[in-house]
């Protein structure tokens, strides 16, 4: 009975923590919107509007109310799913975001798969060969991935692999010829093209996805490699590793079954946070590759001062990280029974 109460208390505490975090996120988002130098009224009415028109819109937006009252209305609208209308598109902001988000999710998912498949083996390999040339080679490789500006590598990659070698697709999600041939039911172009049986569209979309996903994956693999190496070095220095070798286990079994098995829980958090960073941080790569995703949407609306769109994007980024942290906690308990 006491154990059940303890678990219930932990769940209630976690729920309370999430609620407090979301409330803090709402407060932060609201005041970011109010402190931005852009004038939301001027963005709507234009520079040539009369003073009467300006004041009408100012009143309609509720900007003449006290700040605390504006926040109450803002929180009410958010809780009811009303995020306002975009100045740029004239559509509800949430509708715009639901339209562009699948493109970013598709890009980030492929990138994190590439990053994890590169970063984890390289991190383990570097740790096993600590302070030898393979370790130094992996660390230099990771340093380049972490240090080089992604917009620069994106432009160089487009020039080399698209313009000169013609190995991959260029900007956009697919060739211009195929635009409109597939009904975007889910927004995930690869899935929609397969469902429609349009294999030419599928291969075109995959060809355009390879280069930006690889560049993002290489960038995230640098972080994953460094963290994997650090975790593995800590485990390889433990006494149980020596004991396993003494008992006759092979080097591979000791490394992958025992040492690596004990860092899986930590890697879950690292990969989840890296994935969240890709979802909200793909702004530059989406700009370079004209990728019609969440990052491009945020950038274009930030430039024109569309505060409804910007504030909603900031809020969604925060919710993504809260959700990924919650998912990490759940996976922690699955992989490590000691945390249950």
Please give the tally of structural domains in the chain: 2
pLDDT tens by residue, 271-299: 988 898 888 667 788 888 988 888 888 88
- Assign residue 114 the CATH number of its domain: 1.10.3720.10
Please indicate, yes or no, whether residues 160 and 306 belong to a single structural domain of this protein: yes
Question: For residue 257, is it within any domain?
Answer: yes
Please indicate, yes or no, whether residues 225 and 163 belong to a single structural domain of this protein: yes
Please indicate, yes or no, whether residues 62 and 169 belong to a single structural domain of this protein: no
CA geometry: angle 285, 43, 302, nearest 5 deg: 15
Please indicate, yes or no, whether residues 219 and 315 belong to a single structural domain of this protein: yes
Question: For residue 328, is it within any domain?
Answer: yes
pLDDT of residue 285: 87
Please indicate, yes or no, whether residues 29 and 167 belong to a single structural domain of this protein: no
* Chosen domain end from 48, 79, 110: 79
Task: Walk along the chain (340 residues) and give the pLDDT tens digit of each residue.
Answer: 454 554 555 566 667 777 788 888 888 878 777 777 667 777 677 777 777 887 887 777 777 788 888 888 888 888 888 888 887 788 889 999 999 999 999 999 999 999 999 999 999 999 999 889 989 999 898 888 878 888 888 889 999 999 888 888 888 888 888 888 888 888 898 999 998 888 998 999 999 999 999 999 998 998 999 999 999 998 888 888 878 777 777 888 888 888 888 888 888 888 988 898 888 667 788 888 988 888 888 888 887 777 788 888 888 888 888 888 888 777 777 766 655 5
* Chosen domain end from 22, 47, 79: 79
pLDDT of residue 302: 80
Range of the domain at 102: 93-339
pLDDT of residue 112: 94
pLDDT of residue 1: 47
Please indicate, yes or no, whether residues 34 and 176 belong to a single structural domain of this protein: no
């Amino acid at each position: 009975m006491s154990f059940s109460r303890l678990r219930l208390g932990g769940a209630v505490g976690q729920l309370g923590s999430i609620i407090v975090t979301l409330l803090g996120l709402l407060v932060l988002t609201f005041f970011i919107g109010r402190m931005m130098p852009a004038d939301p009224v001027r963005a709507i009415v234009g520079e040539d509007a009369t003073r009467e028109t300006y004041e009408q819109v100012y009143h309609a937006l509720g900007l003449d109310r006290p700040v605390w009252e504006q926040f109450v209305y803002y929180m009410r609208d958010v809780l009811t799913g009303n995020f306002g209308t975009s100045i740029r598109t004239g559509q509800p902001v949430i509708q715009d975001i639901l339209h562009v988000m699948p493109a970013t999710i598709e890009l980030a998912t492929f990138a994190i798969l590439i990053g994890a498949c590169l970063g984890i083996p390289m991190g383990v390999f570097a740790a096993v060969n600590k302070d030898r040339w393979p370790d130094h080679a992996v660390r230099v490789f990771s340093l380049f991935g972490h240090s080089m500006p992604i917009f620069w590598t994106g432009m160089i990659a487009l020039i080399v692999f698209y313009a000169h070698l013609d190995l991959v697709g260029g900007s956009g999600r697919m060739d211009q010829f195929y635009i409109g041939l597939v009904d975007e039911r889910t927004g995930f172009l690869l899935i929609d093209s397969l469902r429609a049986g349009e294999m030419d569209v599928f291969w075109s979309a995959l060809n355009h996805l390879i280069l930006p996903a690889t560049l993002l994956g290489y960038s995230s693999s640098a972080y994953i490699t460094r963290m994997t190496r650090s975790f593995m070095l800590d485990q390889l220095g433990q006494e149980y590793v020596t004991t396993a070798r003494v008992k006759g286990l092979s080097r591979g079994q000791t490394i992958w079954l025992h040492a690596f098995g004990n860092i899986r829980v930590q890697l879950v958090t690292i990969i989840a946070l890296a994935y969240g960073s890709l979802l909200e941080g793909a702004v530059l790569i989406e700009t370079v590759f004209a990728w019609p995703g969440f990052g491009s949407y945020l950038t274009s609306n930030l430039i024109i001062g569309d505060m409804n769109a910007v504030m909603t994007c900031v809020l969604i980024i925060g919710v993504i990280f809260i959700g990924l942290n919650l998912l990490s906690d759940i996976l922690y308990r699955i992989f490590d029974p000691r945390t249950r």
